Amino acid sequence: MSGTIEPELRHAGLNLAADTGELREHVESDVFGFWVFLMSDAVVFALLFAIYGTMRYATAGGPDAAEEFKFHSAFWETALLLTSSFSYGMVSLSMKYSRGRLWPLVFLALTFCLGAGFLKMETHDFVTMFHDGATPERSGYFSSFFVLVGMHGFHVFCGLTWIILMGLQLVIFGPDQRTKINLIRLGLFWHFLDVVWVVIFSVVYLQGLIR
């Protein structure tokens, strides 16, 4: 129909409306495909949450969550990860409004530091629990706990690796269209991890304080 105005394509704060129609369709396809991957990952986490729920009281006479969990540590881990989600949002905004690569790199580095801090604290918690004898083979409860929380930690590690690669891509190629698309997908992945952690913090740590 003549005179029809095509809608602009916007993703994660990155305006891609000035691109050709072919590239815009490619962007939509790439982002949609990554959403499908995230939904399949969400199914995996849902199954792990279900297993954890069935093992909630299967301590086999050993220590339970209230004895082993360090609430203050989990609280600061949550604060670090949520702050990293905000800093990654600034990556998207800086890619949209700044012409260079400096500010996206700065906020990527900040996101990496916050995520690495989260992973360091979580690793310390795991080491402390192992020292106390709360190991995966101790009970069904701790088996399900380490699989669930460890799987999330592995995803964070993968996200940190991806951030390093994106930083290198920004340095080498600059903020071109392919870099923007990859940053969109990385942003979806990173925010997804934050959502999963909020559920873990609520279901695992907060409920674990209740005997």
| pLDDT score, position 107 | 95
74 part of a folded domain: yes
Residue 107 vs residues 101, 131, 151, 210: alpha-carbon distances, Å:
10, 36, 26, 38
Q: How far apart are CA 195 and CA 124, in angstroms?
A: 22
CB-based contact 198:78 (threshold 8 Å): yes
| pLDDT score, position 171 | 92
17 part of a folded domain: yes
Q: Which residues of 174-190 are buried (b: 16+ CB within 10 A; e: fewer)?
A: ebeeebbbbbbbbbbbb
Query: What residue ranges of the chain have pLDDT lower than 70?
Result: 1-27, 210-211
| pLDDT score, position 12 | 44
| pLDDT score, position 199 | 95
| pLDDT score, position 150 | 95
Domain ranges, residue 51? 10-208
| pLDDT score, position 202 | 92
> Phi and psi for 100 in degrees, rounded to 5?
-95, -165
CATH number for position 41? 1.20.120.80
CB-based contact 203:152 (threshold 8 Å): no
78 part of a folded domain: yes
3 part of a folded domain: no
The one-character DSSP state at 180 is: H
Which candidate, 151, 153, 144, 140, places its Cα nearest to that of 74?
153
Q: How far apart are CA 91 and CA 205, in angstroms?
A: 30
| pLDDT score, position 24 | 59
CB-based contact 107:86 (threshold 8 Å): no
| pLDDT score, position 200 | 95
| pLDDT score, position 7 | 46
157 part of a folded domain: yes
4 part of a folded domain: no
Q: How many domains does the chain have?
A: 1
In angstroms and rounded to an integer, the radius of gyration of the C-alpha atoms of the chain is 20
Q: Which helix (H) or strand (E) holds 14?
A: strand 14-15
CB-based contact 141:64 (threshold 8 Å): yes
CB-based contact 174:140 (threshold 8 Å): no
Residue 112's CB is within 10 A of a number of other CB atoms, namely 21
CB-based contact 143:55 (threshold 8 Å): yes
Torsion region of 83: left, alpha or beta (phi above 0 gives left; psi -120 to 50 gives alpha): alpha
2 part of a folded domain: no
1 part of a folded domain: no
CB-based contact 115:186 (threshold 8 Å): no
